[in-house]
């Protein structure tokens, strides 16, 4: 029948046109899935200082049909040294699978070139650099502005990495310090003195015991001042 023959020819032509335009056929290429996951990890690693080194294991494809639109996502959202990356197909047939990946961010960090005692203020003269994986140990510091002028809160042995938990902002207040309190209200300012009951960096809130024995809460302004809002 001429009509049926024409319809069959039209179907065959449509199938040929789809194939020519790269329409998905067969099973999904595992290399494309791995590439999608790697692109996501590299994009996330770009916000960290250092050079990313990313390795993604190609998934085992058993039944996932070829996909025209892949999207990668990171469960939990946090970049880790060893992680699982999700890759989902948005069209034409939805599916989701997970691939394993490892991430390193290689960069320079600082170590002490001499023993640094608690209470010392650090300068560039006390620092040497090393190279390592900054993602594996996020306490390592690669930005000298977060070290120079800061105060050691404990003894740091020669050759040891300078870590954030071993330093305090020079404008922070330590527990037991005598400080000035500034109470601000509408149209007035009252100043006084007190003793810090907690340690805190600028912007944090700490409790202070005033000279009268009252305990108040205020915001650390600098190493000597706590502001109390009335």
Q: Residue 17's pLDDT is what?
A: 40
Q: Residue 186's pLDDT is what?
A: 80
Write phi, then psi, for 216 (nearest 5 degrees).
-125, 165
Q: Residue 183's pLDDT is what?
A: 87
Q: Do 230 and 185 form a contact (C-beta atoms < 8 A)?
A: yes
Q: How many CB atoms lie within 10 A of CB 173?
A: 26
H helical segments located in 64-123: none
* CA R_g for the chain: 30
In percent, the amount of the chain with pLDDT more than 70 equals: 89
Q: How many CB atoms lie within 10 A of CB 128?
A: 12
Q: Do 45 and 103 form a contact (C-beta atoms < 8 A)?
A: yes
Q: Residue 4's pLDDT is what?
A: 36
CB within 8 A of 62, min separation 6: which ones?
A: none
Q: What are 227's strand-pairing partners?
A: 182, 219
Q: Residue 21's pLDDT is what?
A: 42
Domains of the chain: 25-104 (no CATH), 106-168 (3.90.1210.10), 178-229 (2.30.30.760)
The parts of the chain modelled with pLDDT lower than 50 are 1-24
Q: Do 70 and 89 form a contact (C-beta atoms < 8 A)?
A: yes
The two structure tokens encoding residue 162: 């300078």
Q: Residue 13's pLDDT is what?
A: 40
Q: Do 85 and 39 form a contact (C-beta atoms < 8 A)?
A: no
Q: Residue 55's pLDDT is what?
A: 96
Count how many Cα atoms sit within 13 Å of the Cα of residue 60 in the half-sphere of its side chain: 1
Q: Residue 154's pLDDT is what?
A: 93
């Amino acid at each position: 029948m001429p009509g049926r023959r024409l319809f069959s020819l039209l179907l065959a032509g449509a199938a040929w046109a789809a194939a020519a335009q790269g329409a998905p056929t067969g099973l999904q290429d595992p290399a494309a899935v791995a590439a999608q996951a790697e692109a996501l990890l590299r994009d996330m690693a770009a916000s960290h200082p250092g050079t990313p080194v990313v390795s993604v294991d190609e998934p085992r494809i058993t039944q996932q049909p070829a996909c025209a639109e892949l999207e990668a996502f990171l469960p939990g959202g946090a970049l880790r040294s060893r992680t699982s990356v999700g890759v989902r197909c948005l069209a034409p047939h939805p599916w989701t699978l997970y691939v394993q990946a490892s991430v390193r961010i290689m960069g320079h960090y600082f170590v002490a070139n001499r023993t640094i005692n608690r209470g010392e203020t650090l300068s560039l003269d006390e620092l040497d650099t090393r190279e390592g994986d900054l993602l594996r140990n996020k306490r390592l510091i690669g930005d000298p502005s977060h070290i120079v002028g800061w105060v050691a809160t404990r003894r740091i042995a020669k050759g040891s990495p300078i870590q954030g938990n071993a330093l305090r902002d020079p404008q922070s207040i330590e527990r037991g310090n005598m400080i000035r309190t500034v109470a601000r209200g509408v149209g007035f300012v009252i100043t006084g003195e007190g003793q810090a009951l907690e340690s805190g960096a600028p912007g944090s809130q700490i409790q202070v015991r005033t000279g009268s024995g009252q305990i108040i809460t205020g915001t650390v302004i600098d190493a000597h001042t706590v502001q109390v809002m009335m």
